[in-house]
Structure 1
């Protein structure tokens, strides 16, 4: 309990600063309502069910694009990192897409795919697959050569070498890319929902802003922050679960 309080102390102080700055300083509360009013607006949205509708729409799109990026990005990154022929064929194309800003392609996705679900899932997929690919390729290249030589000295087949040595040794770096993708997919999706959507947390923020429901707007922003923290913590726990082999026995 004390550890949780210690980790949250800065956030608590920021909340108190927000509350007092809105009530007792020259900040206009119409543009920055007190923190307690934002929490009250969040609670009212939650009780009415409106918040769940927007949250579920965003999380559905995020999971769809993120899952697709995992299914394609990790195997493709392993192949590019391990097989020179695949790397020579795909690396130039990958470099082009890698250096193209994610949101710069949003108008293109909307133009060809419309403002429905497909365009938003596609932009999430594109935002996620780049960091997953980058870290997976780097992970394969950084595997200790002594491990590879030791396995080959025991006449291990290429497939078993890949499965038993390369992939397990790459997991920590792969999860770094997965965590980056998990955070990035939410940010890109919110931006996409602000441009063209009828539901979602990004839509909630834009709709509240246009209707001057500022407390509800901040409530949506806080929900996005909480969602990002939950996703990141969940991925950390998964990384610890799959990287137990790295932990030395006590």
Structure 2
């Protein structure tokens, strides 16, 4: 009797044999979570995340440049400025194409880079070792500091007549002028970087028994590299600035000569093409120096 009652109860009120379809299984829920945008981003490899961050940074940097070029294009066409004095960006690009096609631009670029790079290399080759030497010997730094400050604060452009009178108007005087302008920037940054090394690092290295040469090579020089390269990059910008100024006088080739000649002949698009070329070369040169800095300061985070 009891068995019959039990069978009837089970038949009338059976227990669910499976999980209701309204409640997803753990596996299905996990699969559902894996298809959300957040989960997709989370599953990206480190390389993909790094590429995504790089593209985001590049996009942010390009926005300002694109906006500037768009304003340059629109302002003359809309009549905001006189097109004869500021032609549209596309007109300047056309002039740049003409200069490239007839070979004029390449001749001027080669002449300018020869002068600029020669002065830049000579200045750095002398200033960096001399700055480290002065910083290492405090007495020399104290004695020479007033004289060095005077030279640093004497504008290099103001000395162009002096260099022209003494060295003439040829390439040698231009290279010497660029060397002078770059030298003091690198020298002061080198002295500052070597003298401002963390004293705790120096004391720790000396407590380990390092010799003076090892201390300088393994502690002082690596710690001074970022400041030194700041001076190197500033000297790169100074070399281009002084180069253009020196080529305004007595030059027969070069980007500065191209700019002043186009301005005198009222070839305004060609003038802006020369200015644009200088900007591109300066940005590329600075980028190469940044790569070199990262190569020599890989210990930095």
TM range, normalised to the smaller chain? Answer: over 0.9
How far apart are the structure 2 equivalents of 1:7 and 1:143? 33
Task: Show the counterpart of 2:267.
Answer: 213
Runs of 5+ unmatched residues, structure 1:
none
Match of 1:73 among 108, 113, 127: 127
Structure 2 length normalisation: TM-score?
Answer: 0.79
Runs of 5+ unmatched residues, structure 2:
1-54
How far apart are the structure 2 equivalents of 1:71 and 1:246? 24
Aligned CA-pair RMSD:
1.3
Q: Indicate the SS of the match to 1:115.
A: coil
Task: Show the counterpart of 2:206.
Answer: 152
Task: Show the counterpart of 1:114.
Answer: 168
1:212 Cα deviation (Å)?
0.8
1:26 Cα deviation (Å)?
4.6
Q: Does 1:104 align with 2:158?
A: yes
Task: Show the counterpart of 2:42.
Answer: none
Q: Does 1:143 align with 2:197?
A: yes
1:246 Cα deviation (Å)?
1.6
Q: Indicate the SS of the match to 2:82.
A: coil
1:44 Cα deviation (Å)?
1.1
1:140 Cα deviation (Å)?
1.0
Task: Show the counterpart of 1:175.
Answer: 229
How far apart are the structure 1 equivalents of 2:77 and 2:145? 55
1:128 Cα deviation (Å)?
0.6
Structure 1 length normalisation: TM-score?
Answer: 0.95
Match of 1:131 among 182, 185, 189: 185
How far apart are the structure 2 equivalents of 1:75 and 1:91? 16
Match of 1:166 among 206, 214, 220: 220
How far apart are the structure 2 equivalents of 1:139 and 1:59? 29
1:161 Cα deviation (Å)?
1.1
1:91 Cα deviation (Å)?
2.5
Match of 2:245 among 170, 191, 202: 191
Greater fraction helix: 1
Task: Show the counterpart of 2:97.
Answer: 43
Deviations 1:117-169 (A, max 9, x none): 11111111111111111111110111011111111112211111111111111
Match of 1:60 among 110, 114, 120: 114
1:211 Cα deviation (Å)?
0.7
More contact order relative to length (CA 8 Å, sep ≥ 6): 1
How far apart are the structure 2 equivalents of 1:242 and 1:188? 28
How far apart are the structure 1 equivalents of 2:104 and 2:160? 27
1:201 Cα deviation (Å)?
0.4
Task: Show the counterpart of 2:278.
Answer: 224
Instruction: Give aligned pairs, total.
Output: 247
